[in-house]
Every structure is written in C-alpha cells, then in structure tokens.
Copies of this chain bind each other. A is one copy, B any other.
Amino acid sequence: MKILHHPARNDIMLSTVLHALSDPIRLQIVSQIHKHGEQACKNFEVSIAKSTLSQHARTLREAGVTRTRAVGTQRLLSLRSEDLNERFPGLLDAVLRSCEQENLDPASL
C-alpha cells in the first residue's frame, strides 16, 4: 500500500499548520478527533463528498496536524498533540478551546 507521508516534528511549519486549521471543515475534523479520539474518515460528520474529505485529511496530515495509520481499509486519524505541543506550545489547545467556545456562542449576543 501507499506510504503516507508525515513531516518530521521539526519540519512542521507554523504558517502551514495555521493554514490547515483555517478551513472550517478541517477545523470540524480536528475538533471531532479531539472530542472522540482517533477516528476513521467515515465517522466524520461533514457534508462533503468523500473525495473532498480525503483531500482535507491529506492537508491536515501533510501540515503535521494529524497522524494517519492504516487499519484494514480504514485510515485512522489522530492529532499529533505531542509533536505540536513540543514545537508550538499551547497552540493546539488554544485552537481547540477557541473552537469549542465559538460553537457555543449564539448566547453571546
């Protein structure tokens, strides 16, 4: 099977990570992995074609945000929390918390 390329920890670039996280769909994906743990693509509740989802998964993986491992026909995605915390301390947590806060916001008006 195909080799899934993941950047080494020190090759993870801030602007690339921020770009990967700047898309609402990818933010949803990351948030869902955070909430429910390692997830296969088929479990993501996003309203896009599977080819599009596959591309988003690739973007996240190549940015160093997620790790993908193959199990059977599935690709399980997890967050590279340790690598990200080591390289950009506090960043992932801040984004995840911001993400949750934003989703609870209609009351703030």
Using a CB–CB distance below 8 Å, which chain A residues touch chain B?
A: 10, 13-16, 18-19, 21-24, 27, 87-91, 93-95, 97-99, 101-102, 105, 108-109
Contacts and interface: CB of A to CB of B under 8 A. Distances in A.
| Identical subunits present | 2
B14 A98 contact: yes
Given A10-B105, A18-B18, A90 B99 contact: no
A21 B21 CA distance: 10
Contacts of A10: 105, 108-109
Given A15-B27, A89-B97, A94-B94, 20 more contacts: A10-B105, A10-B109, A15-B24, A18-B19, A18-B21, A18-B27, A19-B19, A19-B22, A87-B101, A88-B94, A88-B97, A88-B101, A88-B102, A89-B94, A90-B94, A91-B94, A91-B95, A91-B98, A93-B94, A94-B95
